[in-house]
Structures are given as structure tokens and as C-alpha cells.
Amino acid sequence: MEKAATILGEGTLHPHPRQGATQTGVEEATKRFKRYAPYVFSSHMADRPDIEDLEGVWQYRIKTSIPDNLLGRNYLFKVAQHLKQLGIKIVHVRNRPLYMPKLRRLMGKEAILILHEHNQNIVDTLTQKKAIEVFEAIDAYVAVSRFTYDYEITNKYPQFKNKACVILNGVNLERFRPVWEQKEKAASLRRKFGLEGSKVVLFAGAIRERKGVHLLVEAFKQVAKKHPEAKLVISGGDKDNLEAKDAYARKVKAITSQIPDKVVFTGYVPPTEIQDIYLLGDIFVGPSTWEEAFGLVFAEASATGLAVIGSRRGGIPEIILDGRSGLLINDPENTSEIAEKINYLIESPRKCEELGYSARKYMEEKFSWDRVANEIEDLYDKLSDK
């Protein structure tokens, strides 16, 4: 069986208690490979061996003495040494475009180099000269959404479209089971957080301005006036959901203090437990103000069977089919629009339920990690046959 290596950025720990979307994507896809032997390269972890087999995926953790977070020179040199010793020619780099020219020089013409972009790093961070150098060094470019593909390829570097493709991210359909299959567990969790008898609006994710948490709270103030039975659950951040030095978190807390009995903070929830948090909600809302490449939380909420409301930004409309598996917000800065859509779903329980069932079905049809793994291996086959 031919080997294939996935390379994470220097400083990235894998697996990690606070695993991000990129690491999740790597873990979920590689353990499902059927035609290639997967190897994952990441940074040294003090509490784990430098080489270990996890669920059939070989983990190589690189210890470096000369950190260079921009170009990963020392890190990449050691990675390349391992790749050569292991006889690995397929090299799949996640989210580090600047690694590619260096890897090409280290690995030579025989290596197959793939850049997998989880953001819009090339257009947003590189000069045109440097971007072209990256594209010329690689054999394939993978975008996690059509939005990212269009943003970087169609609109900026169409001359490299022959190297580019889209492989949509996925969601773990086994972990994120629909709420109607877990009624007792959902009821128990609601009791734990004092949510019995409430219509629950849920947000899960990082407490950052670009996620629009403050906009959701402002909108919910309007919802609470019309629907006193409604409550807002905010899940994310550190264990107290606030950091003393975090001005944005203080801003969010200040707004919620105006409706203290209507907002529940769960605090930080580790990735291993996040599937339970979605069981608290009836409606999931994420009013992102930035062009999010994918938005994993929307897929997770959809897989759980919640009615999902998200912004018409970035790759989010590829996860939420407006009016069919959820609702899209045209302007997340317009808190009245957010409130209007939340009120509509509270007042239309049948529609809310229909959207949740449709959302789960859509995830099953289009967003399984088995599909992602298969498409990645198909790409490896195609590149190996050249």
C-alpha cells in the first residue's frame, strides 16, 4: 500500500485538547483512508511519543531547536528527512502555502505536493510574486469550499485552475447524532443548565468579534421581549467564558448583563464533549461577520438536527440551504434581521422541526468524512497516474 503524508504547520499539536477545524479535518479523513497508508506530521508534544500509531494513522511529532514559525525551515527539513526515509512521495500540506516552495526544493521533482487551504491564505497574506511561486511549486490545490476556490482561483489566479479542486469539509455523523435520537440525554442536559421549558437559541464557538457574538446578544434582547420563554446559550471561550484582558469578551458580558436571567454561559467545552452541547439547542445561530471558509459548527449543528441560522458569508451558504435546511442572514450587522429569523422559528415550531430534519439529511448526503477521505484518495490516484 502506497504511503501518503499529511503535514501540519510547525507549532501545531496533534491531537490536541483544543483541536481546531484543520486538525479535526486531518484526523477524521486520514483514519478513514482505505487505499493509502496515512502518516501525519506535527510538532513535538511533551506528553506523547514522537512516533505512535493512532487508529491506524502513524503520527510523527517533530522536535525542533530553531523555531521558525513563518517558514518552518528547521521543522520542514526534519519532516523531509523522515519522508525520504519512509519512501513517501505524496505530501499533503494543510494551510501552510509558504511551505510549498521549500518542500519542492527539499523533496525534488518526484514528490507529489498538495496544498489544502482551510482559509484564504494565498490571496489574503501573500504578494502576487510569492503566490505564483507557491502555485508553481505544487501539483494540486484543494479548497474546503467553493467560496475559497472562487476567492483564490477563479477571481485571482485562474491560470492555475488546472491544479485546483474543491473537497468540502465534513462532519462526524456518528458523533453528532440527531437530537430526536437522544431525547433523554437532551432533557438531562437541559435540567443541568436550568433550561427546562425554554426555547433555546444556541451559539457554540470561539468568543471572537468576527463570529458576531455581540450581534447575536443584541438581537436576542429583541427576541426576549417578544418571547420571555426563550433563552440564549453561549458555549465557548475559557472555563469562565471571559478572560480578564479580553476586551471583546467584556463587551459581550456587558450586553448580556442587561438580560442576565436570559443568557447561560456553559464555559469552555473540550472537543470530545462538544457533541452534547448541541443537544441544548432548538435553534443554532452563528452571525459571522467575516468570509468564513467553511464553518464547521454549522455542519455539526445541522448533523444534530437543529434549525440553523447563519450569515450569507463565505462558505456558509454551502452548508445551509436557505429555506430548506436552515435560514441565511443577509446582513449580520442588522440585529433586527437576526431577531426576525429567530422569532419566526420560535413561532413556527413545525417549520423549525422540518429544517432540522432536512439539515440532518443534507449532512448525510453531502458531508460525511467517508466522502471526504474517498475524494482525497481519488486525488492521490489521479496525481500518481500522471
The domain that holds 146 is classified in CATH as 3.40.50.2000
Structurally, the chain folds into a number of domains equal to 2
For residue 332, whether the previous peptide bond is cis, meaning omega lies within 30 degrees of 0, is: no
**Predicted pLDDT of residue 64:** 83
Does residue 240 sit in the same domain as residue 354? Answer: yes
Burial of 269 by CB count in 10 Å (0-12 exposed, 13-18 middle, 19+ buried)? middle
**Which grid cell is 66?**
530553531
SS3 182: coil
Does residue 39 sit in the same domain as residue 158? Answer: yes
Q: How far apart are CA 39 and CA 34, in angstroms?
A: 13
187 sits in which H/E element: helix 183-192
Does residue 155 sit in the same domain as residue 207? Answer: no
- Residues in the chain predicted with pLDDT less than 50, given as ranges, are 70, 241, 244
Strands 51-54 and 57-62: antiparallel
**Predicted pLDDT of residue 238:** 59
Does residue 137 sit in the same domain as residue 228? Answer: no
Does residue 190 sit in the same domain as residue 143? Answer: no
Does residue 230 sit in the same domain as residue 88? Answer: no
Specify which residues 37 forms β-bridges with. Answer: 3
Does residue 234 sit in the same domain as residue 152? Answer: no
**Predicted pLDDT of residue 244:** 47
**Predicted pLDDT of residue 230:** 97
Name the pTM for this structure.
0.92
203-228: pLDDT as tens digits: 998 889 999 999 999 999 999 999 99
Does residue 116 sit in the same domain as residue 186? Answer: no
Contacting residues for 342 by C-beta, under 8 A, at least 6 apart: 201, 219, 220, 223, 230, 283, 285, 309
Does residue 184 sit in the same domain as residue 106? Answer: no
Could you tell me the sign of the dihedral formed by the alpha carbons of 376, 380, 385, 386, in that order?
positive
Encoded amino acid at 180, one letter: W
**Predicted pLDDT of residue 104:** 97
SS3 89: coil
Range of the domain at 21: 3-170+368-384
SS3 62: strand
Does residue 268 sit in the same domain as residue 321? Answer: yes
Does residue 160 sit in the same domain as residue 249? Answer: no
Does residue 99 sit in the same domain as residue 221? Answer: no
